[in-house]
Amino acid sequence: MPSISKTTREQVAIRAHYCCEYCKTQERLIGMPLVIDHIIPTSMGGENELHNLAAACYRCNQFKGARILAFDPQLNQETTLFHPRDQSWFAHFQWREAGLYISGVTSVGRATVKALRLNNAYVTASRKIWILEDWHPSLLQPDPPAI
C-alpha cells in the first residue's frame, strides 16, 4: 500500500483541530506531531482514504494497534472500538472530575477507554496541568466536521 501523502496527513490534522481523535490531547501540548491512525487497520483491508484515517497521539495509536474490537468491562463482551469518522466523541465519552478523566458512556466508549488506556498516568498528570492553565481539550469545539 502506498504511503500517506503529506497533503492527506495535513488534511487529517486540520480536520481533527490538531488533537488526538481518541483522547483529545492537543498536538501542541505533547511536543510532537500526531500520527495517522488507520481506523480499520491496513492488515484488515483498511485503506489510505480520508474516511479511514484519524489523527492520534503516539500512545493512543500504540495501544490501539491493529484492532477494531475490545471488551466492554461493564458488560464483559466484545464490541467495536470508537470510530472517529462514523461516531461522535461526545456520544460515547464524557469528561469526569473537571476534565481529569475520560469516561465511556456506551459500550464502545468503555471498551475504547480501557483498550487505549485513555486515563493512563502520563495523560492524567498532563491533564492536571492543562486544567490549571486553561489548556484543556474540553475547551475546544465539539466533533469537527467530516472532510
44 in a domain, yes or no? yes
Number of structural domains found in the chain: 1
Tell me the pLDDT of the chain (147 aa) as tens digits. 568 999 999 999 999 999 999 999 988 877 778 999 999 999 999 999 999 999 999 999 999 999 999 999 999 999 999 999 999 999 999 999 989 999 999 999 999 999 999 999 999 998 999 889 888 877 654 554 444
pLDDT of residue 1: 58
Residue 146 is assigned to a structural domain of this protein: no
- Asked if 39 and 33 touch (Cβ cutoff 8 Å), the reply is no
Tell me the H-state helices in the chain. Answer: 6-15, 27-30, 58-64, 89-92, 107-115, 121-132
Range of the domain at 37: 6-134
pTM of the prediction?
A: 0.90
- Beta-sheet pairing, 93-96 with 53-56: unpaired
Considering the domain boundaries, does residue 140 fall inside one?
A: no
Is 1 a member of any domain?
no
Is residue 89 a part of any domain in this protein? yes
- Is 147 inside a domain boundary? no
Residue at 141 is within a domain: no
Is there a domain that residue 143 lies in?
no
